[in-house]
Amino acid sequence: MCDQMLGTLAIWLRIIGYDTSYAENAHDDEIIIQSKQENRILLTRDKAIKRTYESALLINSTNLHDQIQQVVHEFGLTFEDTRVLSRCTVCNVSVYPVEKLALKNSVPMHAYESHQHFWQCPSCGRIYWKGSHWENIQRFIGTL
């Protein structure tokens, strides 16, 4: 679980395929309670939380690259192509493959015409495909 100071880290952990909740606009005690209820390790930049909650990892840097490296190193996470973009970046739910024909009126025409594989979030309905952002994601992961 990422606290409200680590929203971008939460998104990137989801992008690389890790179940990551995000405590947005919550007080410290609410974040700790939620983390305990969900049996999660809390990632935080808040030293006060770290002092009071033993299942918290203090993220040392404000740099996203360094933050991801710290989490990967601390927990032995791996980067697997099959996991990348397997979770909704908004809802944190696993996405599922969708037949291209079913999406003809739901995605931009250029995406529909140039891609064969699409995925959708069962919670929010967001649709994903490996567009130009895919190359940027792979490049960023490669730097890690």
Per-residue pLDDT of the chain (144 residues; tens, 9 = 90+): 999 999 999 999 999 999 999 998 889 999 999 999 999 999 999 999 999 999 999 999 999 999 999 999 999 998 888 888 999 999 999 999 999 999 999 999 999 999 999 999 999 999 999 988 888 888 888 888
pLDDT of residue 138: 86
Q: Is residue 90 part of a domain?
A: no
Q: How far is CA 107 from CA 13, 40, 103, 137, in A?
A: 25, 35, 6, 20
Q: Using alpha carbons, select from 81, 116, 119, 79 the residue that is nearest to residue 97.
A: 119
pLDDT of residue 80: 85
Q: Using alpha carbons, select from 67, 64, 86 the residue that is nearest to residue 14.
A: 86
Total number of domains in the chain: 2
Same domain as 69, residue 11: yes
pLDDT of residue 32: 94
| pTM, to two decimals | 0.90
pLDDT of residue 119: 96
Q: Which domain holds residue 42?
A: 4-75
CB contact set of 134 (below 8 Å; sequence gap of 6+): 85
Same domain as 100, residue 69: no
- Helix count and strand count (H, E) for the chain: 6, 5
Q: Round to whole Å and give the CA distance between 72 and 13.
A: 10
Q: Is residue 82 part of a domain?
A: no
